[in-house]
Amino acid sequence: MSTSSDVDQRLEVVGQVLVRCVVMGVIVLLLWWGALALMGDLTYAVHSKLTPITRQQFNVIHYAGMLTTKAAISLLFFFPYIAIRLVIKKRRQQPSDH
C-alpha cells in the first residue's frame, strides 16, 4: 500500500518531468523562431525549390506550426504541471492522518 509520502514523491517526480518537457518545448520554439529570424530567406529558398510555395504560405505554415506547438506545450505539459503543484500544495496543507 502506498503511503502519503510515496504519493507526494511520485507527484514531485511527475512534476519535474513535466517542467523539463516545458523547458525543452520552449527551447525548440526559440530555435525554430531563431532559424526563421536569422535564416528565413535561406529556409524559404530551400523549401520553395522542393515544392511551389509563396513566401506568405511559407510564413503562415511556420507560424501556425509554432502556434500549435505552443498550444501543445501548454496543454500537455504546463497546465498539468500547474495542476500537480496545486495538488501537492493542498496535500501539504492537510493535516496528516498518521
Q: Burial-class residue 21 by CB neighbours within 10 Å (0-12, 13-18, 19+).
A: middle
| 79 belongs to a structural domain | yes
> How many domains does the chain fold into?
1
| 26 belongs to a structural domain | yes
Q: Looking at residue 76, what is its pLDDT? A: 97
- pLDDT band of residue 96 (cuts 50, 70, 90) is low
Using the predicted structure, report yes or no on whether residue 54 has a pLDDT greater than 70.
Answer: yes
- Of the chain, the percentage scoring pLDDT greater than 90 comes to 83
| 98 belongs to a structural domain | no
Q: What length does the chain have? A: 98
| 36 belongs to a structural domain | yes
- Structural domain range at position 56: 11-91
| 6 belongs to a structural domain | no
Tell me the whole-structure pTM to 2 decimals.
0.83
| 4 belongs to a structural domain | no
Using the predicted structure, report yes or no on whether residue 97 has a pLDDT greater than 60.
Answer: no
| 96 belongs to a structural domain | no
